[in-house]
Structure 1
Amino acid sequence: MMTVKQVSLLTGVSIRSLQFYDEIGLLKPTQTTAAGYRLYDDAALEKLQQILFFKELEFTLKEIKTIMSEPAFDKAAAFAKQRELLELKRDRLSAMLGLLDKLIKGEACMDFKTFDMREYYRILDDFKRTHTEAITTRLGSMERFDEMVRELQGNENEIAEMAEKQFGSLSGYTNAMEKNLAAFLENGPSVSPADAEGLSRKTDELTQRLTALQDRDENAAEVRSAVGELIEFVNACNGDMEMGENYWPFMAELYLSNPAFIQATDQKYGAGASRFIGRAIRAYLGG
């Protein structure tokens, strides 16, 4: 048996993190002494090792707990899958290091294909092979699914750039899109066509309410209230869809700097509306 301090020294995981894993039920100690000391055996260390592999692949603690508590959880299969994903991550990092070497030398290189999309396409291909009936039911035909993939391939650079900004990494984006696609195939759209028009109208109303305050400072209470209401409503509309932890900072950037986004927003809500919304969102988020 090893104490929590010994486990921390061996693994590099802080004592507080190990205590937190215990508190949330992710990794319980094998035994707790009468004095309250946590003790861990080899089986617990093996489980911790599995957790650390998942963390390296950017799974959240909640996701890791859900995966590992499944009755059908297969440790060997999980290790094999983790190895495959880590190889992809290694290859992506090697490509990024090569890109950085070019940039250090002063070479102009704006190729976002370095942020490799292969894993995302592999997941889409897996879904195509294993969810044929669901895809046909939801999209109408396999041809529509293939068309969607071709559209993605035609916008690789834009998607890679968006993924880095909105999800923090391409692997984070890939994990989120895999979950979103599975949820869509199982449950259909999070919003029914019958409700979509009403929700769009409500979003428009909230945006108009916000842009009507353009003469106020973006930190004003009424502006912050309007932004908060808009963000809360849009988040609710997205339901369980994974939008990325940087979704709203990314949206603020679009309102502030994307020419097409600015033009469309200003045309609908008035001159200066887009940049006002961007500044208001940033102020609300504390940035």
Structure 2
Amino acid sequence: MMTVKQVSDISGVSIRTLRYYDRIGLLSPAEHTEAGYRLYDDAALERLQQILLFRELEFPLKDIIAIMESPTYDRKQALAQQIELLELKRQHLDDLIAFARGIKMIGVRAVDFSAFDTSKIDEYTKRAKEKWGNTKAYEEFSHKKRTSEENERLMEDFAQLFAEFGELKGGSPESSEAQAMVKKLQGFITEHFYTCTDEILSGLGKMYAADSEFREHINSAGGKGTAEFAAKAIAVYCGE
């Protein structure tokens, strides 16, 4: 048997929350001492683990009670479903991480941030998910599924492009070599992220030179002045 404090220590759930769970009938102690202190056995701890998994999936307490008190509740089946939903949540987070890296590296700031699906994964209660308007560019970007390792390699390849820009920055942005690099950059973005039209490319070029964060990131790959050179080469390519 474990006291409420011991359970709190090993689970990270506050004593106040454990008492609240008892009060609403979600998690009751196995017994009480003569002094009235709660004591929890292995079965109670196992139930707490199930509760915490549901909470990690952002299920409301009332739904957790309804699920776990249902006569058809099957612990093994519920665990399998929890694993599946956690994997979906992990994929969602991987997508957000990839998108954030895109914002940092290639300027996906042009994309409407309402494109994020902010709804919670909730297959049990079948709640309607919110749908936000997506831009075409983001739709293309979000449908490209990659592992975290693939994303890291992609960012390395993208940085290499600016390293190549850096090797040319001593020359003219109008040179055939510089213009070929711009074309290569546009093709890379189109292949791996979204269709990079001349209009989008022009906006990215302006952002590379004007935004301190982008400028610093690009210059770290190609050396000081690379971001400004790439921006000028892009402007020439786009006929500005």
Report the TM-score when normalising by structure 1: 0.41
The structure whose RCO (Cα within 8 Å, separation 6+) is larger is 2
Report the TM-score when normalising by structure 2: 0.49
Question: Whose helix proportion is higher, 1 or 2?
Answer: 1
